[in-house]
Structure 1
Amino acid sequence: MWFILVLVDEPQIGRTRHTASEYGLLNGPSFDFRLDRAEVSPDLAGHVERHWMTSWNLPGGQRRPVTLLPHPCVNLVYEGGALIAFGVGRELFTYACEGTGRAFGVKFRPGGFQPYLGRPMTELTDGGIPLSALWGEIDAGLFAHDLSRARRLDDLVEAAEFHLRRHPPRPDPQIDHVGEIIQVMLHDRTVQRVEDVAERFSLSPRSLQRLFGKYVGVTPKWVLQRYRLHEAAARLAAEHTRPWAEVAVELGYFDQSHFIRDFTRAVGMTPAAYSEACAQDRAPIST
């Protein structure tokens, strides 16, 4: 059973600093599952996109999977007493919820975590690193301790921002530059190829590739494709009577076989199968 989680708040260029898609693919949260988000304080907004918390409640012994299509950014996640920074995941990510639990995360902007890592973000792609490896056991332990005592999302946010302020990264103007590029890739539908992005910002495709390797961890082509596939899945779920080929063209896919291949590889179902699944009383969840 597949669902699209539609976070209905898609902003426009020039009116927002959001640099992450508002879409993420989920399967099967037909149990007591909740996602809450919180805004970040202005002084941290250059690096951090938002805070989030998921919580769930299942009868004893039951396990249910939740699957999502990751964004091109780092999430610093606290769960089970551990703080781990997860890099960009290029494949579907499935988490098995069990019993009653919660997870809290700090979602960084694409490129926003690089000064904390201090190395090319490709080293974190499809993987993660304990925060203690970056901040040391004592500081990371104090951070985790304060999070363990927080009961509400507001308390978690307050604790997280306190510790982030204690470890300010060195200023890097490239962070804002990457953010500007990501904004265009996310919101401007006239930008459909890496060459379009490079031309818009007076960069060579090779320079753009190196910039994304260092600050984002994946290629510009991957980011463009992921944003389009997020939106394609959302549209197919919300408008399942529309021909999927129309959706593909609107998102810049003029080769239908190319769209089918990309969508199936990312989502695990063909566009037609996904649309049909959504039409059979498996409507989108919105939050």
Structure 2
Amino acid sequence: MVYQEYLPIPALRPWLDCVWTCRVQTGATPVTHQVLPDNCIDILCQDQQDASFAVGMMTVPIAVASLGLVQTVAARFRPGAAASFFQLPLCELSDGRTGLRQLWGRELAARLGDALWSEPLSNAQRVSVLQDYLLLRLRSAPPRHQAGAAGHAIAAIEAASGQVRVEELAAQLGVSRQHLALQFRQHVGISPKLFARICRFRAASAGMQSLAGQPDWAQVALQFGYFDQSHLIRDFQDFAHSSPEAWLTGRRA
């Protein structure tokens, strides 16, 4: 697998975290890799069967199988930013894969597929093509209500690596917890509490990779903002389908 990230063009940086490409070459046996929840929505365009689709917010890990040669060019949205490109509540995309023909219309999706795959292009050229179509979609789609309190909440949750109480955050923003939850369903795709849990899990899983020797898991839990070890274990079971110890052992292998 060859994976590469690209900085978005300035006009798209308020909405995109990155644009990326991936090339997977396998033999006769499919190769599977696990993708963990990351609080992002992606658009992926693949050369196999002209597949272009959006992957919504993930609340569980997924296993992605590849067979033969698969080339992908994709865009990863910043949390809460994808709503500007889709005319539906983002909760309808969560834990699923939805074709761009359904989301953008058959004509625009077909034009994108032709532009990407009908001629041999470099990765940089395909990245440019995808960003051109994202700009076209952004400028032609009807305007949507801004995320409002949800946007401020996203920034606060990420800054705290998920270690926030939603009730207190809603009070600080001057809205009810119910109102904040509704905004998250529409503009993010999952609840603010789940968003915060995934932020905390991501911070813990990234930080754990630098741990040496046999960790004291109770201390690790406290280090990354968990109330106790059982809460750390629960998040790894939910978001990685693994215990923290088994997950770390796999990363060290």
TM range (shorter): 0.7 to 0.9
Relative contact order, CA 8 A, sep 6+: which one is greater?
A: 1
Deviations 1:94-133 (A, max 9, x none): 1112222222211112222223322211111112322122
Shift of the alpha carbon at 1:150? 5.4
Q: 2:81 and 2:125 mapped to 1: Cα distance?
A: 23
CA separation of 1:98/1:170 partners in 2, compared to 1, >3 Å: closer, same or farther? same
Q: 1:150 & 1:240 partners in 2: Cα distance? A: 46
Q: 1:77 to 1:152 in 2, by over 3 A?
A: same
Cα distance change on mapping 1:173 and 1:183 into 2, 3 Å: same
CA distance in 1, matches of 2:168, 2:16: 27
Contact 2:149 2:173 in 1 (8 A): no
After superposition, give the CA deviation of every residue in 1:241-263 in whole Å (9 maximum; x if it has no partner).
Answer: 33232221122211221221221
Amino acid of the structure 2 residue aligned with 1:184: A
- Partners of 1:276 and 1:212 lie apart in 2 by 35
Name the counterpart of 2:235: 262
Segment drifting more, 101-110 vs 221-230: 101-110
Q: Is the 2:221–2:232 contact (alpha carbons within 8 Å) kept by the matching residues of 1?
A: yes
Out of 32, 35, 45, the position equivalent to 1:78 is 45
Aligned partner of 2:35 among 33, 53, 68: 68
Mark the CA change 1:178 to 1:53 in structure 2 (over 3 Å): closer, same or farther: farther
Q: TM-score, normalised by structure 1?
A: 0.78
* Aligned position for 2:21: 53
Q: 1:111 to 1:189 in 2, by over 3 A?
A: closer
Question: In structure 1, what is the equivalent of residue 98 of structure 2?
Answer: 129
Change (3 A) 1:61 1:214: same
Counterpart check, 1:157 vs 2:124: no
Contact 1:131 1:140 in 2 (8 A): yes
Shift of 1:268: 1.7
Counterpart residue number, 2:12: 44
SS at match of 2:146: helix
Change in Cα spacing, 1:177 to 1:47, as seen in structure 2 (3 Å) is: farther
Paired with 1:139 and 1:53, the residues of 2 have a C-alpha distance of 21
**Number of aligned pairs?**
247
1:26-51 Cα offsets, whole Å, 9 max, x none, are: xxxxxxx1221111112122222211
> Which letter does structure 2 place at the counterpart of 1:67?
Q
Q: Distance in 1 between matches of 2:93 and 2:245?
A: 34
User: 1:174: Cα distance to partner?
Assistant: 2.1
Distance in 1, Cα, partners of 2:239 & 2:210: 19
Answering whether residue 111 of structure 2 is matched by residue 142 of structure 1, we say yes
With normalisation by structure 2, the TM-score equals: 0.88
Aligned-pair identity in percent equals 26
Structure 1 residues 132 and 273: CA distance shift in structure 2, 3 A: closer
Indicate how the Cα distance of structure 1 residues 143 and 177 shifts in structure 2: closer, same or farther if over 3 A, else same. farther
In the alignment, structure 2 segments of 5+ residues that lack a partner are none
For the residue of structure 2 that corresponds to 1:258, the secondary structure is helix
For residue 209 of structure 1, what is the aligned residue in structure 2?
181
Q: CA deviation at 1:171?
A: 4.5
Q: Secondary structure at the match of 2:66?
A: strand
Distance 1:88 1:189 in 2: 18
Q: Let me know the Cα RMSD of the aligned residues.
A: 2.1
Query: In 2, Cα distance between the equivalents of 1:134 and 1:276?
Result: 40
